[in-house]
Amino acid sequence: MILKFKNYNLSKEVLKAIDRLNYTSPTPVQQKVIPLALKGRDIVVKSQTGSGKTASFAIPICDKVDWDENKAQALVITPTRELAIQVREEFFNIGRFKRLKVSEVYGQFSFRRQQKELKQKTHIVVGTPGRLIDHIERKTIDLSMIKYLVIDEADEMLNMGFIEQIEAIIQNLPKNRITMLLSATIPKDIKNLCKSYMKNYEQIEIEAQNLTVDKITQERYSVEENDKFEFLKDILVVENPDRCMIFCNTKKMVDELCDNLYPWIKSCSKIHGGMEQQDRSLVMNDFRKGKFRHLICTDVAARGIDIEGITHVINYDTPEDKEDYVHRIGRTARASKSGKSITFVTENDIKFIDIIQKYIDKEIEAKQHPDKLTVDERRDDFNTKINTKLNIGPLKSEKVSEGIMKLHINAGKKTKMRPVDIVGTLCNIDGMTAADIGIINIIDVSTFVEILNGKGEMIYNALQGRPIKGRIRKVSKCEQ
From candidates 26, 127, 290, 438, binder to ligand AMP by CB under 6 A: 26
Query: Which region, judged by CB under 6 A, interacts with ligand AMP, from 47-55, 157-165, 289-297, 413-421?
Result: 47-55
Minimum CB separation of residue 30 from ligand AMP in Å reads 6
Minimum CB separation of residue 86 from ligand AMP in Å reads 8
Residue 109 interacting with ligand AMP (CB under 6 A): no
From candidates 16, 19, 27, 375, binder to ligand AMP by CB under 6 A: 27
From candidates 23, 292, 359, 460, binder to ligand AMP by CB under 6 A: 23
From candidates 17, 31, 49, 317, binder to ligand AMP by CB under 6 A: 49
Minimum CB separation of residue 304 from ligand AMP in Å reads 6
DSSP 479: P
Query: Which region, judged by CB under 6 A, interacts with ligand AMP, from 25-33, 208-216, 285-293, 386-394?
Result: 25-33
Kindly determine how many residues on this chain lie close enough to bind ligand AMP according to the rule CB under 6 A: 13
Q: Which one, of 389, 244, 248, lies nearest residue 310 by Cα? A: 244
Residue 52 interacting with ligand AMP (CB under 6 A): yes
What Å distances lie between residue 60 and 33, 53, 91, 290, 369, CA to CA? 9, 12, 10, 31, 50
Minimum CB separation of residue 90 from ligand AMP in Å reads 6
From candidates 32, 53, 280, 455, binder to ligand AMP by CB under 6 A: 53
Minimum CB separation of residue 207 from ligand AMP in Å reads 15
CB 427, CB 440: distance < 8 Å:
no
CB 214, CB 284: distance < 8 Å:
no
Residue 51 interacting with ligand AMP (CB under 6 A): yes
Which C-beta is closer to ligand AMP: that of 23 or that of 229?
23
User: Amino acid identity of 130?
Assistant: G
Residue 312 interacting with ligand AMP (CB under 6 A): no
Say how far apart CA 443 and CA 112 lie, in whole Å: 13
Residue 19 interacting with ligand AMP (CB under 6 A): no
Q: Which one, of 150, 138, 145, 106, lies nearest residue 122 by Cα? A: 145
The count of other CB atoms within 10 Å of the CB of residue 12 is: 10
Residue 438 interacting with ligand AMP (CB under 6 A): no
Residues 276-305, mask of contacts with ligand AMP (x by CB under 6 A)? ----------------------------x-
DSSP 368: P
Minimum CB separation of residue 172 from ligand AMP in Å reads 27
From candidates 50, 273, 309, 370, binder to ligand AMP by CB under 6 A: 50
Which C-beta is closer to ligand AMP: that of 327 or that of 473?
327
Which stretches of 78-171 are DSSP H helices? 81-94, 111-119, 129-137, 154-159, 163-171
What Å distances lie between residue 377 and 232, 266, 371, 374, CA to CA? 17, 21, 10, 5
Residue 330 interacting with ligand AMP (CB under 6 A): no
Helix (H) or strand (E) holding 218: strand 216-222
Which C-beta is closer to ligand AMP: that of 53 or that of 340?
53
Say how far apart CA 477 and CA 449 lie, in whole Å: 10
Query: Which region, judged by CB under 6 A, interacts with ligand AMP, from 53-61, 198-206, 421-429, 453-461?
Result: 53-61
Minimum CB separation of residue 81 from ligand AMP in Å reads 16
Residue 456 interacting with ligand AMP (CB under 6 A): no
Minimum CB separation of residue 27 from ligand AMP in Å reads 5
Q: Which of helix, strand or coil describes residue 149?
A: strand
Which C-beta is closer to ligand AMP: that of 51 or that of 311?
51
Query: Which region, judged by CB under 6 A, interacts with ligand AMP, from 48-56, 109-117, 361-369, 371-379?
Result: 48-56
Minimum CB separation of residue 25 from ligand AMP in Å reads 6
Contacts of 272 (CB under 8 A, 6+ apart): 251, 254, 255, 297, 298, 300
Say how far apart CA 339 and CA 214 lie, in whole Å: 10
φ, ψ at 181 (rounded to 5°): -125, 130
CB 381, CB 374: distance < 8 Å:
no
> Residues 338, 19, 88, 190: is their CA dihedral positive or negative?
negative
Sheet holding 216-222, edge to edge: 268-271, 294-297, 244-247, 312-315, 339-345, 216-222, 365-366
HEC per residue, 239-303: HCCCCEEEECCCHHHHHHHHHHHCCCCCCEEEECCCCCHHHHHHHHHHHHCCCCCEEEECHHHCC
Say how far apart CA 147 and CA 136 lie, in whole Å: 17
Minimum CB separation of residue 49 from ligand AMP in Å reads 4
Minimum CB separation of residue 221 from ligand AMP in Å reads 29
Minimum CB separation of residue 302 from ligand AMP in Å reads 13
Which residues of this protein are in contact with ligand AMP, per CB under 6 A? 23, 26-27, 30, 49-55, 304, 306
